[in-house]
Amino acid sequence: MRRLALMCAALLATTLVVTPPVAADPAADDPVGPLQAYEATGPHAAALGSSYGPRRQVSDTGYVQDFVNGRLYATERGVFAVHGAAWAAYSRNGAHGALGFPTSELQPDGAGRGTGIQEFEGGLVVVSGDAAWAIAEPVLSEFRRLGGFEELGLPREDEVRSGRFWTQRFERGRVSASVRAGQDSLLLRRDRRNFVKSRIAPGESDYFFDYGRPGDAMLVGDWNGDGTDTLAVRRGNEFHLRNSLTSGPADVVIRYGRPNDVILVGDWNGDGTDTLAVRRGRTYHIRNSLTSGPADAVVHYGRPNDVILVGDWNGDGTDTLTVRRGRTYHVKNNLANGAADNVVPYGQATDVVLVGDWDGDGVDTLTVRRGNQYHVKNSMKAGAADRVAVFGRPGDRALVGNWDGKNHAYREKANLEPPAEIKPANGASMSPLSPAWANNSVNATVFRRNSVVSHEADGVVHQFTAYYDENGALVLARRSGGGRWEYERSMHTGNPTDAHNSISIAVDGSGYLHVSWGHHNSPLSYARSVAPLSLELGPKESMVGRGETLVTYPEFYRLPDGGLFFLYRFGRSGAGDLVLNRYDPPHRTLDAGP
């Protein structure tokens, strides 16, 4: 979560009332309207059953009406029904708040599988008999890239979240995708009720829940590193953290600072988890874990009476500070004293300002709030808002977060299909992989050891490689006998913005893949595959349990007996030791060398 936690009291109200936007009502020129006309004449009218409740607005141009067996949507993409098993899967996976609006009716898949498919802005629903499953972005793009239904078959479960990686099981395999870059939106709080909106748009909330007491001060953060923001109640210097957007007791309770301290929330070290910082005047006491104890860093910036905003202003994965003085913003891209890196004028001096990543590009920007109007800017520069949305009531308390872990701009992103094989003029051949991080040399730095390795088993040569994708996920790839590459986005991530964080891989004599990544004077990151020739890595583990806190330049070397040497620098530049460990495949043990 990259934003300023506003510390105002919750305001009184009990139900959500939507103020319609200026945009035209699609039924304004037609007394019947598209929903009612569809109810009478649409091809799925009988399947929907009888209607109940009025037509409701849920976005700038989106309207819905509920029926006994589903829901009818009227948007700029058309009027479509979602009903029966498709409705069960769609609603189970967040409905339009997560999958977007329908863009087609439920129709046969055209391949003779006896299944039906309904497409949505951010995914699709597959119906087979009485069962139905949703395939949502970004898993859907990866599923299609790997061959879709022909290669993997039908889905057999909903996506499962593990940290920043979402995985879904299909008939003939599973697909994993990284969801590191999320997209922020609004939560409106009244008394102790919280109305959640997954995308900034007018209309009703996607859902609501109760948490805390009406007078509680609330903070927003990703407290467990799963890519989803949730709430924390602050009572003095006690913080009650909840890891889901549901009612119930806190998952974690910690104490930090003093009862009257100003508290800021941010990911100060880029590890994907939000923690607390105490502000006292122009001094910031930053804690990098959600535990009690002394600050991990103390930073001085600005003036004691400055208004401070928190955000990731340059997309490097780390939150820093911005000083606001009237309508001018002094942006700092590192946690250090000194002059601002960027000075931006925006809005009016009296505006309420919110911070968030509104378009899912990994960079936080500003939104001006005026009553129940939100003027969203997707770049840190002066100029008109990129969009204006009306939501809720002027007196609502607004909080910002990525509530579902998703990036709803996926459908606007470029096709991720790898290019066709390249044939260089010198007679060599190149086999392109899937898109990878290319903002620096981390995937191809000169000191990288073992970017591609081979292992022969049963007369077949298997090639392996590893690299960071565009979101910093550790991707593993394998091909056998020179055939097609297979991919696995692992559960692990690195910091590709620092080119020191290269990846080293090796295959031992038993066929197990060993990977070490993400080091620049940092704790050891090492994992090995769960089975011979497998691309699935187990969890991080230590090697010998000592000399593993300040690692840089990892290198694997395979030995004639199938064992491995692992070489790295322990310590900092100019004050480090060379460490050599040995791995014994028959006993699967690691020993430290002399």
pLDDT at residue 12, as a whole number: 23
pLDDT at residue 429, as a whole number: 65
What band does 41 get if pLDDT is binned at 50, 70 and 90? low
* Residue 427: pLDDT over 80: no
* Residue 537: pLDDT over 70: yes
Q: What is the mean pLDDT of the chain?
A: 83
Contact, 462 vs 455, CB < 8 A?
yes
What band does 47 get if pLDDT is binned at 50, 70 and 90? confident
What band does 22 get if pLDDT is binned at 50, 70 and 90? very low
Lowest pLDDT segment from 30-34, 89-93, 243-247, 258-262: 30-34
* Residue 211: pLDDT over 90: yes
* Residue 115: pLDDT over 70: yes
C-alpha distances in Å from residue 87, one per residue of 73, 81, 90, 360, 526: 12, 9, 5, 27, 43
Over residues 503-524, the mean pLDDT reads 93
Contact, 190 vs 198, CB < 8 A?
no
pLDDT at residue 203, as a whole number: 73
* Residue 204: pLDDT over 70: yes
One-letter identity of residue 346:
Y
Of 302 and 484, more confident: 302
pLDDT at residue 2, as a whole number: 36
Using CA atoms of 358, 362, 368, 372 in order, give the dihedral in degrees to the nearest 10: 30
* Residue 318: pLDDT over 50: yes
E-only strand ranges, 95-246: 107-108, 116-120, 123-128, 131-136, 160-162, 165-170, 173-178, 185-190, 193-196, 207-210, 217-221, 230-235, 238-241
Nearest residue to 583 via CA among 524, 542, 547: 542
* Residue 564: pLDDT over 80: yes
pLDDT at residue 392, as a whole number: 85
Of the ranges 36-40, 150-154, 204-208, which is most confident? 150-154
Lowest pLDDT segment from 319-323, 426-430, 526-530: 426-430
Over residues 149-167, the mean pLDDT reads 84
* Residue 461: pLDDT over 50: yes
* Residue 232: pLDDT over 50: yes
Secondary structure (DSSP) of 533-557: T---B-----SSSSS-SSEEEEEEE
pLDDT at residue 14, as a whole number: 25
Reduced to 3 states (helix: H, G, I; strand: E, B; else coil), residue 38 is: helix
pLDDT at residue 205, as a whole number: 83
Of the ranges 49-53, 200-204, 451-455, 487-491, which is most confident? 451-455
What are the residues facing 505 on neighbouring strands? 515
> Can you tell me the distance from the alpha carbon of 194 to that of 186, in angstroms, rounded to the nearest whole number?
10
Over residues 67-92, the mean pLDDT reads 90
What band does 516 get if pLDDT is binned at 50, 70 and 90? very high
Of 98 and 555, more confident: 555
Give the rounded percent of residues in the chain with a pLDDT score beyond 70.
Answer: 86
Contact, 34 vs 74, CB < 8 A?
yes
Contact, 183 vs 365, CB < 8 A?
no
